[in-house]
Amino acid sequence: LLLLLEGLAYAHERGICHGDLKPTNILLQKNEQGKYHPKIGDFGVARKFTASNSSDASLWGIPTGSWFCKPREQLINDGTISPLSDVWRMGAILYQCLTGQLPRSNNAELVSNKFSQQIPVLPIRELMPSIPATIESVVMTSLQTNPADRFQSSRAMYHALKNAIIH
């Protein structure tokens, strides 16, 4: 998972937002030693943003992605993508990898809460008590409804997850 965050940070640092991160866009590549490495695929809706590493850089364009991997700002304004929406989406992927479940319970709840200030996400340790609190904290920070409360870059999320894994 760190490799995915490193790849996402590489794209963001070059001014590219993916805009449609989801589990089906994570590919596994087998190397000569038979080990698999994750790769981010499908940059079909990726867009260049103008202010590299800016937390408020965003683009307006075509509707993007699957509802279950969309942060609140994309649910409200479907064509917007930003580095912080990619951070939310990466958190959703990590959540699903750790729990086997989506970060939101169902479509009806999502629609009813679409315009509210918070869209609830069940804490990871309620589903998987064996997950270390430090890792849960990284994932839950990335899934904050308010973009200002998330990691302000994919690089910051990478470092936080790396530290959580080490400790």
Residues 79 and 45 sit within 8 Å (Cβ to Cβ): no
Q: Which of 20, 42, 56, 149 is catalytic?
A: 20
Q: How many CB atoms lie within 10 A of CB 91?
A: 26
| Owner of token pair 């959580």 | 164
Q: Which residues does 28 contact at the CB level (< 8 Å), separation at least 6? A: 36, 37, 38, 39
Pairing of strands 16-17, 47-48: antiparallel
| Owner of token pair 């089906």 | 24
Let me know if 149 is a catalytic residue: no
Active site residues: 20
